[in-house]
Structure 1
Amino acid sequence: MTFSVGHSAYPAHDSVPDLSSKDKPLRDDIRLLGRLIGDTVRDQEGAETFAVVEEVRQLAVRFARDADQEARQQLEARLDSLPRDTMISVVRAFTYFLHLANIAEDQHHIRRRRAHDIAGSKAREGDLAHTLDRLAAEGVAPETLADCLANALVSPVLTAHPTEVQRKSILRSERAIARHLDARDRTKLTPEEEAENDEALATAVLTLWRTRMLRPQRLRVIDEVKNGIAFYDDTFFAEVPRLYGRLEDLLQARYPEQDWNLPAFFRLGSWIGGDRDGNPFVTADILRWALRLQSSAALEHYLDEVHTLGGELPLSEMLVPVSEPLRALAAHSPDASPHRQDEPYRRALIGIYARLAATSRALDHHEPVRHEKGEAPAYASPAEFEADLAVLAESLNSHGGARLAKGRLKRLQRAVQVFGFHLAPIDLRQNSDVHERTVAELLALAGRCEDYSSLTEDERIVLLASELESPRLLHSPYLNYGDETRGELAIFFAARELRERYGDAALPNCIISKTDGASDLLELALLLKEAGLLTFEQGEPSLAVNIIPLFETIGDLQASGPTMARLLDLPVYRRLVASRQDTQEVMLGYSDSNKDGGFLTSGWELYKAETALTAVTAAHGVRLRLFHGRGGSVGRGGGPSYQAILAQPKGAVQGQIRITEQGEVIGAKYANPEIGRRNLEILVAATLEASLLDPEKEASSDGNGAQAYYPIMERLSDLAFGAYRNLVYETPGFVQYFRESTPIAEIADLNIGSRPASRKASDRIEDLRAIPWVFSWSQCRLMLPGWYGFGSAVEQWLTEVGEPAGIARLQAMYRTWPFFRALLSNMDMVLAKTDLGIASRYAGLVADAALREQVFGRIVAEWQRTQRALLAIAGQSELLADNPLLKRSIRNRFPYMDPLNHVQVELLRRHRAGETDERVRRGIHISINGIAAGLRNSG
């Protein structure tokens, strides 16, 4: 892309990678979109602004390409001289183009996938067909596969976090542009059609340019709920049933002797509206609203589908026989039209529609868009709705209409199985400290324990276990509790009420942040008992929801195995797990462990925790389900999902896995339905492979498998931990450097999430949330949480063991151990996205010159060590040598992201110098949006 005038809108000299013929359509799309945004800038902002945009781009490219200091000086001088309004126009121009480049890339991925499918190419990694081929080649029997699917759970969980900088209005415009590009690609247009498409694209780009990118006010939790629901309307309602259908078809074709009517093992989840950790705006009333909105969305979808089915099934009983159950269903319909008396399917569907409309009013007080034709009773449960749909399907299948039953009706049946009347299960999450204070007040006011907080861990366990053995409650409506305790109890009471209303699947999980001991789980169990979510049946305690510890820091990960062993050794807790089908879910925190210990140590301690937890649960006869709290960036556990799942230690997946989807990654993965379907398929494919195969079987030639590499990883982790902690937590002035050299303060001020950026009113790194920590380093193009410490660790370890033999050993680890290979692959991506030249400009914002030189100098030296180590171990001559697609993406977009960084630095400088004009602040926030869009996985 360029903003150049005329037809040659794609530069031939500075920023275009060598593209093969198969990538020519991508280049054409980028050229087209670049011309359109350039024309829009010129038409809307004037030729002078347009010329400034192009001048800034060329100077930034010179600086990035040649480290040209003269270009840097010219760039700084040019930016320094720009009026505020012109600078904001420059920021907007580059930001919008990066959004358009993302659209072009996504469309190209779809284009290439279709080309492979049309050509009948061999299935690739992440495809379900490829997975089933692998399983068959490894001798996995269809019965084993069927058993795995019968007990499987694959669940991406959408969370609301303050790196999702997109507004729904922007996403809507971008989807329109994607549709117009797709139309050009799929059909050969007549000249008139092409002109119409050109005009539609130009109009959509103009609409995008004139759409406000920033929110004037901070998001409310309910806004976040609505944003999450939008992805169901756009992608999940259609693509989740299609995913099931594709897998069933592939299985039936390979193993026709078996019936492959799969259970609803793939389910989306949500934290939005239930995650209270550090978010005071999530209350019992918000939880009620969240489920009401979700339910309304699910029922509206069902109403639309039933209405459409009525038009698709005008089958006459004069021409085709029907089953007696269908005839009875039609007879109960409120439809009395004589024109449809011989159309039992339509009459039955009109009756189903009426019942759904009544259900919508009863559950959600929501009035359907289309009114029903008469009164009918509401459905008492999704199962009743499913049963009516099954009557239609059975009648069609039994009377020559199997093809009709397999289409929209089958997809609707699957949607009801997956989404129910609640849409997605909402997890409740709260910090263990809050639970502790709540339990302490309950115990004190009930006269059970005056000072619970002073008890040792052993004393707490004894006391809590005793309380859990008894059905007696501590809470009384006649006692005066503090606001926090009342709020916490209200959430659990609301959860019980909502489960009765929407079904048990609506609220199945409670997560404890900052779990550091067995008492944390017992405290939650006690609170659940107070709300009737832990009851006694014939004297035995029974849990209605899953209690899920979240181990986050390095120390907590290291203690996770012993913590769970102690709990499972406790008779009362073991009985609680038995009441949950002998399944214990454990959540692992990637973000905070990284902030605590650095990239390498976090990854290794997570791996060890999974291994320990697998062993502990197996020893106690309990099935383990791991919930991975990954973010979008590598510094928060991000990276390709397929490789991440296959990099788990042997036995850690067991057919069940939950993974958070956070921040801007949700939009990147699921805003486009076809891209969304691909990402959903990858999760299922990787889970099946990780469960039924041994990804680590090639790990070591000495017969000890991956365990032969553990001592090396342990030493590397220790060394990396020391290097990271020394910089971040032990270097005097580092907090000042971080806060002055990154836009952390401006990110905290941006209206991109309902949750505060810090847990406490503090400047300490320990109190800062991991999300803005990583996001800030991404904005200044250092990505420090994704690599720092690795180079020092490798360099020192090689000194200890000897370089030739040591490098050979690390290279063998890289070739044969999926965990180590995935770790380095993610680091490769992060290093390629860094830019030390741009980062040096952010370092220039640090007022203390000595501090600036000291800290930035250390970071640069470590980056160089890390790059050398990575290239030597991977046997590469340059970064991303084995990832040409990402390399192409970076080369396409970074010349247009770099100017945003330069402008952001200038705006930060002005803002911090006292230029508090709202336009300066708005320019900073738009630049944050653009840089995040360019990086795509920054938060």
Structure 2
Amino acid sequence: GDRDGNPFVTSDITMDVADELRMTLMKCYYHDVKGLQHKLTFKEAEEILKDLRDKLYSTMFNPAKSISYEEIINPLYAVRELVVNSYHNLYLKDLDNFIGKVNIFRIHFATLDIRQDHSIHKKVVEAVLKKEGIISESLDELGKDELIKILLHENLRVDARNFKGEIIKDTIRNISQLKTIQSKNGEEGCNRYIVSNSEDLFSVLFVYGLFRWCGWEDQNIPFDIIPLFETMKGMKSSELTIQELFDLPEYRSHIFQRNDKQTIMLGFSDGTKNGGYLKANWSIFKTKEKLTAICKKNSIKAIFFDGRGGPPARGGGKSHRFYAAQSQFIANHEIQLTIQGQTITSKYGTEEQFIHNCEQLLTAGLSRNFMGKENIISAEGRQLLDELASISFEKYNELKEHKMFMPYLENKSALTYYDKANIGSRPGKRGTKKKLELTDLRAISFVGSWSQLKQNVPGYFGVGTAIQALIKKGKLEELKKMFREISFFKALILNSMMSLFKCCFELTTYIREDEKYKDFWNILYEEYKLSKEMVLLISDFSMLMEEELISRESIKIREKIVLPLLVIQQYGLQKINQNTRNKRTYEKIVTRSLYGNINASRNSV
């Protein structure tokens, strides 16, 4: 469902995936019913189970055919009543186990989330209003109130076949077909629409309007429209955005239909790319507090869905530590987070791993309520965090604006090879521009490239400078106290330590001799050394990750294993930059090296 994260996802693929999920589930149900038939052989039950098995079989291979949840569960309850009343609970445990599966997976198996970028919805709305003659060229022709009125009240009907431009047609097709997906897989099959790069109330209203125009009734849009605030600008305006939405009676009515819950996503990945490590994480923390207060004021339950990646630079690190450190002013009715693809198996692949990691998240949510003063950040502490965030952002922003920033990534890292790896969920950038720009760059490839260089810049850059600046103001003891007493600050520093520990500047010391890039490399190296020195100073640690020796050794072993592959990658990049005769061969080597490096590092992208 994520067409923003994977440019190869189309409306056809979304429908195919929904059908495949349902049909695969029916095959599983079919085999379970068959197993029960072999055990429950008395006539009354046999007839009910045979009828159910035949219905399931007809839906296993034909996407046009479906079966309702009630058509599956009601016969099973009928058989259960027979078993309890007439056959001494024979094989009741097996039957209850199957009923439990049906109640969990129903007819959808897994829920699909739809995700698309705000800019795409803007293009689609513009195309629709242009076709209807409401505007001649641009949405800028309309005032804010006028556009809101059109999106909430104008009764239009759109058909994808009447539009040009594949992305516009596909977006309309997709929203129109969501009704079909829900009719086949139930509402649980697909009920959330995430809007990437949300910046104002139109990020949500464009989607709301498109649902209306694609045939959904105003009072029956069974979808949570979820704004994803992932830039500094988006987070800054999020408070106003959410309040403006709640002030609209039509949207408030929609929220009432959704059980008075508003799900909000905050993007750690793009936030860090945009604002640097400290600024992004502290901004997200404060944004959550503000949004919680707004939702509470409007009698709405705030649900935060965290777009967290693998490494600390994308919101990763220790999930338990992160959620246990949230303040009492942040809603914690539910914990929703994204899981990095290559760690799903290692975290949830077995029953024991699944239980352990779910317990970690559950206890993190509970422990926050028992931490008392540890999770309360004083006014002085908040002021210090504001200063740290501001100084680190200035340092990081200075780096971003350096004339060698993008050329360094393009020529000295594996950045441009993410596209060549042809992994749809790991695109190099948004859009099709030939020139590589930071704004279009996907956080996955951005953070991953620094990780492949073993420089991990987004996970610490600016931290050392910020801490040093406050120490020069005589704030060392306050910083040490914050590390000891404020669990959120400690979590930030410990995660940054992980990024620093994974650095290996020795891998790229040859760049010191490169006339073009040596100064830029030295900027990175100096900040790395300073950050390492400063985090050790305020933590009173003698080495990085001193409190996490098992994780430290695990990282050490993996980094040692992957180092030869990284050396090969750097050698390949050097040869490519020299325009050697075997350039294509070296490009293949660099591309292939990505796979091993990403998987070995576990949380590198």
TM-score category, normalised to shorter length: over 0.9
The Cα shift of 1:410 comes to: 3.5
Q: Distance in 2 between matches of 1:677 and 1:298?
A: 23
Q: Distance in 1 between matches of 2:34 and 2:356?
A: 29
SS of the residue aligned with 2:374? coil
The Cα shift of 1:301 comes to: 1.9
Q: So what's the TM-score if we normalise by structure 2?
A: 0.92
The Cα shift of 1:896 comes to: 2.1
Q: Is the 8 A contact 1:568 1:620 kept in 2?
A: yes
Q: Is the 8 A contact 2:21 2:108 kept in 1?
A: yes
- Seen in structure 2, the aligned counterparts of structure 1 residues 294 and 812 have a Cα distance that, compared at 3 Å, is same
Q: Is the 8 A contact 2:151 2:205 kept in 1?
A: no
The Cα shift of 1:453 comes to: 2.2
- Seen in structure 2, the aligned counterparts of structure 1 residues 747 and 477 have a Cα distance that, compared at 3 Å, is closer
Q: Is the 8 A contact 1:594 1:635 kept in 2?
A: yes
The Cα shift of 1:811 comes to: 2.3
1:68-83, aligned counterparts within 5 Å?
none
Q: Distance in 2 between matches of 1:921 and 1:485?
A: 35
> Structure 2: which amino acid aligns with 1:460?
K
Q: Is the 8 A contact 1:716 1:794 kept in 2?
A: yes
Q: Distance in 1 between matches of 2:363 and 2:50?
A: 39
The CA RMSD over aligned residues, in Å, is 2.6
Q: Distance in 2 between matches of 1:879 and 1:928?
A: 27
Q: Distance in 2 between matches of 1:509 and 1:929?
A: 31
Could you tell me which residue of structure 2 aligns to residue 829 of structure 1?
498
1:268-307, aligned counterparts within 5 Å?
274-277=1-4, 279-307=6-34
Q: Is the 8 A contact 2:268 2:315 kept in 1?
A: yes
> Structure 2: which amino acid aligns with 1:384?
E
SS of the residue aligned with 2:416? helix
Could you tell me which residue of structure 1 aligns to residue 282 of structure 2?
604
Q: Is the 8 A contact 1:588 1:628 kept in 2?
A: yes
SS of the residue aligned with 1:587? strand
Could you tell me which residue of structure 1 aligns to residue 119 of structure 2?
433
Could you tell me which residue of structure 2 aligns to residue 504 of structure 1?
187
The Cα shift of 1:508 comes to: 0.3
Alignment partner for residue 494 of structure 1, among 155, 168, 177?
177
1:308-457, aligned counterparts within 5 Å?
308-311=35-38, 313-314=39-40, 340=41, 342=42, 345=45, 348-361=48-61, 363=63, 379=67, 381-396=68-83, 404-406=91-93, 408-455=94-141
Could you tell me which residue of structure 1 aligns to residue 419 of structure 2?
748
The Cα shift of 1:398 comes to: 6.0
Q: Distance in 2 between matches of 1:469 and 1:495?
A: 21
Could you tell me which residue of structure 2 aligns to residue 775 of structure 1?
448
Alignment partner for residue 464 of structure 1, among 144, 148, 152?
148
Q: Distance in 2 between matches of 1:830 and 1:478?
A: 49
Q: Is the 8 A contact 2:161 2:169 kept in 1?
A: no
> Structure 1: which amino acid aligns with 2:402?
T
- Seen in structure 2, the aligned counterparts of structure 1 residues 838 and 480 have a Cα distance that, compared at 3 Å, is closer
Q: Do residues 734 (structure 1) and 405 (structure 2) align?
A: yes
Q: Is the 8 A contact 1:601 1:717 kept in 2?
A: yes
The Cα shift of 1:828 comes to: 1.6
What whole-Å deviation, never above 9, does each CA across 1:174-219 have from its counterpart, x for those lacking one? xxxxxxxxxxxxxxxxxxxxxxxxxxxxxxxxxxxxxxxxxxxxxx
Q: Is the 8 A contact 2:392 2:462 kept in 1?
A: yes
Q: Is the 8 A contact 1:598 1:788 kept in 2?
A: yes
- Seen in structure 2, the aligned counterparts of structure 1 residues 652 and 391 have a Cα distance that, compared at 3 Å, is farther
Q: Distance in 2 between matches of 1:463 and 1:709?
A: 43
- Seen in structure 2, the aligned counterparts of structure 1 residues 628 and 455 have a Cα distance that, compared at 3 Å, is farther
> Structure 2: which amino acid aligns with 1:746?
Y
- Seen in structure 2, the aligned counterparts of structure 1 residues 896 and 281 have a Cα distance that, compared at 3 Å, is closer
Q: Is the 8 A contact 1:442 1:474 kept in 2?
A: no
The Cα shift of 1:477 comes to: 7.9
What whole-Å deviation, never above 9, does each CA across 1:87-116 have from its counterpart, x for those lacking one? xxxxxxxxxxxxxxxxxxxxxxxxxxxxxx
- Seen in structure 2, the aligned counterparts of structure 1 residues 346 and 867 have a Cα distance that, compared at 3 Å, is farther
The Cα shift of 1:421 comes to: 1.6
Q: Distance in 2 between matches of 1:501 and 1:901?
A: 48
Could you tell me which residue of structure 1 aligns to residue 307 of structure 2?
629
Q: Is the 8 A contact 1:589 1:628 kept in 2?
A: yes
The Cα shift of 1:357 comes to: 1.4
Could you tell me which residue of structure 1 aligns to residue 514 of structure 2?
849
The Cα shift of 1:895 comes to: 2.6
Alignment partner for residue 891 of structure 1, among 533, 556, 561?
556
Q: Distance in 1 between matches of 2:499 and 2:86?
A: 58
Could you tell me which residue of structure 1 aligns to residue 604 of structure 2?
938
What whole-Å deviation, never above 9, does each CA across 1:105-128 have from its counterpart, x for those lacking one? xxxxxxxxxxxxxxxxxxxxxxxx
Could you tell me which residue of structure 1 aligns to residue 590 of structure 2?
924
The Cα shift of 1:918 comes to: 5.7
The Cα shift of 1:595 comes to: 0.4
The Cα shift of 1:877 comes to: 0.7
The Cα shift of 1:810 comes to: 1.8
Alignment partner for residue 663 of structure 1, among 318, 341, 361?
341
Q: Is the 8 A contact 1:811 1:873 kept in 2?
A: yes
SS of the residue aligned with 2:335? strand
Q: Distance in 2 between matches of 1:580 and 1:721?
A: 38
Q: Distance in 2 between matches of 1:916 and 1:696?
A: 63
SS of the residue aligned with 2:104? helix
Q: Is the 8 A contact 2:427 2:445 kept in 1?
A: no
Q: Distance in 2 between matches of 1:478 and 1:778?
A: 44
Question: How many percent identity over aligned positions?
Answer: 27
Q: Do residues 865 (structure 1) and 536 (structure 2) align?
A: no
- Seen in structure 2, the aligned counterparts of structure 1 residues 389 and 862 have a Cα distance that, compared at 3 Å, is same
The Cα shift of 1:418 comes to: 2.5
The Cα shift of 1:461 comes to: 3.9
Q: Distance in 2 between matches of 1:308 and 1:714?
A: 62
Q: Distance in 2 between matches of 1:661 and 1:677?
A: 16
Q: Distance in 2 between matches of 1:921 and 1:409?
A: 56
Q: Distance in 2 between matches of 1:363 and 1:346?
A: 27
Q: Distance in 1 between matches of 2:31 and 2:361?
A: 29
The Cα shift of 1:629 comes to: 0.6
SS of the residue aligned with 1:430? strand
SS of the residue aligned with 1:766? coil
Aligned residues: 602
Q: Distance in 2 between matches of 1:720 and 1:810?
A: 15
The Cα shift of 1:933 comes to: 2.6
Higher relative contact order (CA 8 A, sep 6+): 1
Q: Is the 8 A contact 1:295 1:364 kept in 2?
A: no
Could you tell me which residue of structure 1 aligns to residue 472 of structure 2?
799
What whole-Å deviation, never above 9, does each CA across 1:687-713 have from its counterpart, x for those lacking one? 4444xx25463245xxxx455421111
Moved more, 597-606 or 636-645: 636-645
**Which runs of 5 or more residues in structure 2 are unaligned?**
none
The Cα shift of 1:518 comes to: 1.0
What whole-Å deviation, never above 9, does each CA across 1:330-370 have from its counterpart, x for those lacking one? xxxxxxxxxx4x465555444432232123355456xxxxx
Q: Is the 8 A contact 1:798 1:807 kept in 2?
A: yes
The Cα shift of 1:774 comes to: 0.7
The Cα shift of 1:625 comes to: 0.9
- Seen in structure 2, the aligned counterparts of structure 1 residues 856 and 584 have a Cα distance that, compared at 3 Å, is same
The Cα shift of 1:400 comes to: 8.8
SS of the residue aligned with 1:352? helix
> Structure 1: which amino acid aligns with 2:447?
V
Larger radius of gyration: 1
SS of the residue aligned with 2:280? helix
SS of the residue aligned with 1:544? coil
SS of the residue aligned with 1:698? helix
- Seen in structure 2, the aligned counterparts of structure 1 residues 388 and 642 have a Cα distance that, compared at 3 Å, is farther
Q: Is the 8 A contact 1:610 1:649 kept in 2?
A: no
Q: Do residues 811 (structure 1) and 487 (structure 2) align?
A: no
Could you tell me which residue of structure 1 aligns to residue 209 of structure 2?
526
Q: Distance in 1 between matches of 2:314 and 2:590?
A: 24
Q: Distance in 2 between matches of 1:656 and 1:594?
A: 24
> Structure 2: which amino acid aligns with 1:283?
T
Q: Is the 8 A contact 2:417 2:591 kept in 1?
A: yes
Q: Is the 8 A contact 2:157 2:215 kept in 1?
A: no
Could you tell me which residue of structure 2 aligns to residue 757 of structure 1?
428
Q: Distance in 1 between matches of 2:53 and 2:551?
A: 48
Q: Is the 8 A contact 1:583 1:625 kept in 2?
A: yes
The Cα shift of 1:603 comes to: 0.4
The Cα shift of 1:616 comes to: 0.7
Q: Is the 8 A contact 1:780 1:839 kept in 2?
A: yes
The Cα shift of 1:859 comes to: 1.1
Q: Distance in 2 between matches of 1:684 and 1:364?
A: 40
